Amino acid sequence: MGRTVGEVAALGAVSVRTLHHYDAIGLLSPSERSPAGYRFYGDADLERLQQVLFFRELGFGLAEIGRIMSDATFDRLEALLLQRRMLEEKARQLGHMIDAVDDAVDAMEKGEVMDDKDMFEVFGEFDPKQYEQEARERWGSTDAYKESVERAKKYTKDDWKQVKDDQERVSLAFADAMGRGLPADSREAMDLAEEHRLQIDRRFYPCSHQMHVGLGTMYVADPRFARHYDDFRPGLAQYVCDAIRANAKRAG
């Protein structure tokens, strides 16, 4: 038996009304309902709520959050990493704002008038839209993509296991190529990158070379991704990223 709306609200992050609202819009529905209509939220529901709240904190609209999280390829770990990056960016912006306050104080004390642009450039600096774009690229939004969503919805447990195994096989092959000293722009490494791209392209969504390069960059930039690959072999994340870049360059 899960938690009632009151119990979830008592955790301090959302109100009962908010939970009703999220249920009504399909963003977060309880996994159980009593015959009397009571909502009961389980552990997975709370995990989903936390994810929603991170996105909300970062300025995403609820519809957009729902769209992102409803995606079949939505991966909680990847989302957390994206969110982490956004939070860091936002914290950086706050630092800039503190600097801006200090600049304003300085100008006051000197009896100076600040330049118009300098006064306001710090506002709006953090723009979730940029990240929405990235999330969209990562989890897609085109009609062709939506088609692949439908396709992925039909995947069985075995299908998903196959996906996972394929991904692991490619990762191991990358580690092997690297271990044999093959340059990231060697034919073999680039073929692996191409295979990697095609897996995504066939299994999930259209993955252009450009998008692939973006993913490669993310693998290096996000510490947890980097660790994922580097656990196969130290430096592998960078190697994969380089191979992806070389592959994209090969494709023109």
Partner DNA sequence: ACTAGACCCTGACGTTACGTGAGGGTCAAG
Partner DNA sequence: CTTGACCCTCACGTAACGTCAGGGTCTAGT
Positions that interact with a copy of itself (CB under 8 A):
3, 11-14, 43, 46-47, 49-50, 53-54, 57, 76-77, 80-81, 83-84, 87-88, 90-91, 94-95, 97-98, 101-102, 104-105, 108, 113-114, 116-117, 119-121, 123-124, 224
- 3-state SS class at 41: strand
Phi, psi (rounded to 5 degrees) for 33: -135, 140
- The site partner of 15 among DNA, a copy of itself, none (C-beta below 5 to 8 Å per kind) is DNA
How far apart are alpha carbons 134 and 37 in whole angstroms? Answer: 39
Structure tokens given for 244: 């992806």
- The site partner of 170 among a copy of itself, DNA, none (C-beta below 5 to 8 Å per kind) is none
Using rule CB under 7 A, residue 11 touches DNA: no
Give the footprint of DNA on residues 55-114 (CB under 7 A).
56, 61-63
- Environment class of residue 136 by beta-carbon count within 10 Å: exposed (0-12), middle (13-18) or buried (19+)? middle
- 3-state SS class at 114: coil
**With respect to a copy of itself, which residue has the nearer C-beta, 17 or 224?**
224
Nearest distance from C-beta of residue 87 to DNA, angstroms: 18
Nearest distance from C-beta of residue 30 to DNA, angstroms: 7
- Environment class of residue 148 by beta-carbon count within 10 Å: exposed (0-12), middle (13-18) or buried (19+)? buried
The piece of 37-45, 98-106, 179-187, 221-229 that touches DNA (CB under 7 A) is 37-45
- Report the DSSP beta bridge partners of residue 41: 3
The answer to whether the beta carbons of residues 32 and 40 sit under 8 Å apart is yes
Residues of this chain that bind DNA (CB under 7 A):
4-7, 14-18, 20-21, 34-39, 56, 61-63
